[in-house]
Chain A
Amino acid sequence: MFAEVTLSLLAGFGMTLKLFVLTLVIALPLGLFISFGSMSRLAAVRYPIRLLIWVIRGTPLLLQLLIFYYGPGIILGNNIWGSGDEGRFAAALVAFALNYSCYFSEIFRGGIQSIPKGQYEAGYVLGMTRGQVFWQIILLQVIKRIVPPISNEIITLVKDTSLARVIAVYEIIWSGQAFIKSAGIIWPLFYTGVFYLVFSGLLTVLFHMIEKKLDYFK
């Protein structure tokens, strides 16, 4: 029984992990670009982006998942996601990536705005371009400052992936819960908790290592 449960949970966890990794791969860079947009000198860029951030951060992720999945079919009369598992996963990924990129963008914005103006000016008077100043001087200082808040968000994401079940993405809690019905046992649910704990524990260690690595400058 234990082996059977483990295999089943591993399958669910595989889905959880896939959603987690792909969300990060999309949301971290996208969040950076959204943060640029939210700080743009052009009001026509800045305000729509800030509106987007407000809507996404101001409504539940659960609601966004439902709307992203069912919205196209019902509103546009065209279910762009198709009917299979892959379509559901794609819809969940889009919702997660957009949601987390908005949260990340606010952390990036805070980090970028906390860098003293003198760092930019020192670069400019040496003849550097805006891009050179940002990528060569500002970014690493921003990363150093935002590792703690970003790691918080990322650990929240580990647990938030379970919300994807609302559009029938077969993640780990679902696989654990299935045993209540099929075998009348609850311990697989506790077992899913162990997966989460181990995984977030590993991430915590990783973020500590990153913080340590960036300790070489102040």
Chain B
Amino acid sequence: MALLEVLNIEKHFGATRVLEDISFSMEKGQAVSIIGSSGSGKTTLLRCLNFLERPNGGQIKVGGEVLFDAAAGKQFSDAEIRQKRLHFGLVFQSFNLFPQYTALQNVCLAPRLAAKEKGTLRQEEVEIRERGQMLLEQMGLSDRMGNYPHQLSGGQCQRVAIARALAMQPDILCFDEPTSALDPELTGEVLKVIRSLAEAHTTMIIVTHEMAFARDVADYLIFMDGGRIVEAGDPHAVIDNPQEERTKQFLARYSAG
């Protein structure tokens, strides 16, 4: 059974239709890449999945459970939304690290607060810190754990942000153009860790403009344009042999490497 099912998602801001009839599904352990030109609605889609935007139509199911159903017209309480959000993680284009916390504190903050709420912080304290250290090591940041974000390069910041998202153990980790804010020479280190996550079968949705990367890493590729899914399927097939005119035009503007 599919881990994530997105069914007929619609989103408009006033009169602007940003997402129209978006449907796709993915299995546990898969990586899905989303490509598309600026303004095609990729960020909005990820924001809908993370409950930062509320779709105007459609359904979102995770593991068969209906997380969101616009037809039910239900207003969720803050507590319900928080529960639903925990299925997803989101890595932002601009990192959004917390500047007053070190790399390790950034990673451990949310797990600590969650444990505190449950009243189990005392027991879990050490475990949370060790997990945070392990995640940062995995991101190649063993020697940067005590640094504040302003002391880190963009690539290092983004890797901290990835560790921070992983610390909450989301079912599905979403990336919104994780390398777009980076200098070209720093994109490689971030793509490398995402690639290693894919090899470890982390379930991920990756919005990216790195065509070669999307083709190599993703199990499934979605091309969006004007708020719709225009073409989707095997990444090699879509990128090397697009069927739709709009996909061809879009890809022609990128060198697929």
Contact = CB atoms under 8 A, between A and B. Distances in A.
A125 B85 contact: yes
B50 interface: yes
A137 B96 CA distance: 11
Interface string A179-218: 0000000000000000000000000000000000000111
B100 A129 contact: no
B148 interface: yes
B8 interface: no
B96 A136 contact: no
A129 B85 CA distance: 11
B248 interface: no
Contacts of A122: 92, 96-98
A162 interface: no
A119 interface: yes
Interface in B78-118: 78, 82, 85-86, 88-90, 92, 94, 96-100, 109-110, 113-114
A126 B168 contact: yes
A217 B164 CA distance: 19
B168 A127 contact: yes
A128 interface: yes
A217 B100 contact: yes
Contacts of A132: 113
Nearest to A216: B148
A58 interface: no
B111 to A, nearest CB: 9
Nearest to B88: A125
Given A136-B113, A216-B148, A218-B150, A125 B100 contact: no
Interface string A124-151: 1111111010001100110010000000
A118 B99 contact: no
Nearest to A130: B78
A121 interface: yes
A129 B116 CA distance: 12
A127 B100 contact: no
Contacts of B110: 123, 126-128
B35 interface: no
Interface in A79-127: 116, 118-119, 121-127
Interface residues of B, number: 27
Interface string B135-155: 000000000000011100000
A118 B97 CA distance: 9
A60 B98 CA distance: 41
B4 interface: no
Given A125-B88, A125-B89, A132-B113, A217 B52 contact: no
Contacts of B164: 126
Given A124-B85, A125-B85, A217 B99 contact: yes
B165 interface: yes
Contact of A217 (B88, B96, B113, B148): B148
B24 to A, nearest CB: 21
A129 to B, nearest CB: 7
A161 B189 CA distance: 59
B96 A127 contact: no
Nearest to B49: A125
A119 B98 contact: yes
Contacts of B148: 216-218
Contacts of A124: 51-52, 82, 85
Given A116-B96, A121-B92, A216-B100, 13 more contacts: A122-B92, A125-B50, A125-B85, A126-B109, A126-B164, A126-B168, A129-B78, A136-B109, A137-B109, A144-B100, A217-B150, A218-B148, A218-B149
Interface of B: 50-52, 78, 82, 85-86, 88-90, 92, 94, 96-100, 109-110, 113-114, 148-150, 164-165, 168
Interface of A: 116, 118-119, 121-130, 132, 136-137, 140-141, 144, 216-218
30 contacts: A116-B96, A118-B94, A121-B96, A122-B92, A122-B96, A122-B98, A123-B110, A124-B51, A124-B82, A125-B50, A125-B89, A125-B165, A126-B89, A126-B110, A126-B164, A126-B165, A127-B85, A127-B86, A127-B110, A127-B114, A127-B168, A128-B113, A130-B78, A137-B109, A141-B100, A144-B100, A216-B100, A217-B99, A218-B99, A218-B150
